[in-house]
Amino acid sequence: MLIRKAPDVRYSEVTPKSFYVRRREFIAAAAAAAVGAAAAFSPAGTGRARAQGARAKLPNVRKGPFGTDEKLNSFADISGYNNYYEFGADKDDPARNAHRLVTRPWTIRVDGLVKSPASYDIDSFIKPHPLEERIYRLRCVEAWSMVIPWVGFPLADVIKRLDPLPSARFVEFTTLNDAKQMPGVRVPVLDWPYVEGLRIDEAMHPLAILAVGLYGEVLPNQNGSPIRLVVPWKYGFKSIKSIVRIRFTDQQPRTAWNVANAREYGFYSNVNPTVDHPRWSQATERRLGEFFRRKTLMFNGYGDQVASLYSGMDLRKYY
């Protein structure tokens, strides 16, 4: 029997007040959407929801070159406690609501400063890349963390294949924005669609992956199916979910949380225990499922691999 522990802090303590007040609007919007969603809970709809939630095994997954030997969080932890505001503002909302997301067919548009702009079917986009399992820590800005066995492939391999122009300095990613499937986007908690970005050298680092599964199975909708970014040395909101667009640019992308509140959410968002969030300390964290707190590690423990990316930078200024 799984016993859920209460979150470390209340919703109102981890979200700016203006966003917290808007949660009432979200509840109203979700209630209004219930009629349209009724088919998903009818006998026919239930079958469709179950089919979408079925966790198919991913074939020929090999062990990746990076990982950790720390104790894994359970599948129930990983799939039941999420930040995915498009499906709701509370941690358990995505698991309840993400069955609405249809992940096939799915198209990823590649454009911007790239040699051959194109749109790709998700399966043809994934097919050239052998799948690897990589056990990474995921650290969230709200001071909780997990250890997750992601399945995916290096983002660098994708970038090389897409062949960006020499003038490209950043990669911008965009999440699906569909109010019919995602009730949360009916409320202006963020300036939808959700956008994230990396410098090209960050994106090319071998630790950064595009994930399509976890625990050897197809990625659950609430965890960002059918494809998401995982950047393990940054706070979790940088690892954008359900990607529909990859754009190469010479300008720093206007990312969702940075646009919403630049004082609290910087573009880089590297895990850094010496830089506190304006409303709480980042010096310690609690691993989901554990009682005691632990010290937060610089770059989430990946400093030996990634610190050189930021050589000479003031990480208090470029937070």
159: amino acid identity, one letter: I
Q: Is residue 113 part of a domain?
A: yes
Per-residue pLDDT, 6: 35
Per-residue pLDDT, 302: 97
Per-residue pLDDT, 187: 93
Return the structure tokens found at 117: 């702009």
Q: Distances from the Cα of 213 to the Cαs of 148, 247, 291, 299, in angstroms?
A: 10, 23, 28, 24
Per-residue pLDDT, 8: 40
Beta bridge partners, 119, equal 109
Return the structure tokens found at 6: 């209460």
Beta bridge partners, 171, equal 198, 248
- By CB atoms closer than 10 A (0-12, 13-18, 19+), residue 213 is buried
Q: Is residue 316 part of a domain?
A: no
Per-residue pLDDT, 89: 94
Q: Distances from the Cα of 255 to the Cαs of 24, 54, 109, 296, in angstroms?
A: 25, 32, 18, 24
Contact 213, 151 (CB under 8 A): yes
Per-residue pLDDT, 221: 98
Q: Is residue 315 part of a domain?
A: no
Q: Is residue 5 part of a domain?
A: no
Q: Is residue 220 part of a domain?
A: yes
Per-residue pLDDT, 55: 79
Please count the structural domains in the chain. Answer: 1
Q: What are phi and psi of 216, to 5 degrees?
A: 75, 10
3-state secondary structure the chain: CCCCCCCCCCHHHHCCHHHHHHHHHHHHHHHHHHHHHHHHHCHHHHHHHHHHHCCCECCCCEECCCCCCCCCCCHHHHHHCCCCHHHCCCCCHHHHHHHHCCCCCCEEEEEECECCCEEEEHHHHHCCCCCEEEEEEEECCCCEEEEEEEEEEEHHHHHHHHCECCCCCEEEEEECCCCCCCHHHHCCCCCCCCEEEEEHHHHCCCCCEEEEEECCEECCHHHCCCCEEECCCEEHHHCCCCEEEEEEECCCCCCHHHHHCCCCCCCCCECCCCCCECCECCCEEEECCCCCCEECCHHHHCHHHHHHHHCCCCCCCCC
Q: Is residue 68 part of a domain?
A: yes
Q: Is residue 81 part of a domain?
A: yes
Segments of the chain with pLDDT less than 70: 1-54
Smallest CA-to-CA distance from 161 within 114, 207, 195 is with 114
Full residue range of the structural domain in which residue 265 is found: 11-310
Contact 202, 193 (CB under 8 A): no
Q: Is residue 3 part of a domain?
A: no
CATH code at position 17: 3.90.420.10
**CA 97 to CA 117: how far, in whole Å?**
33
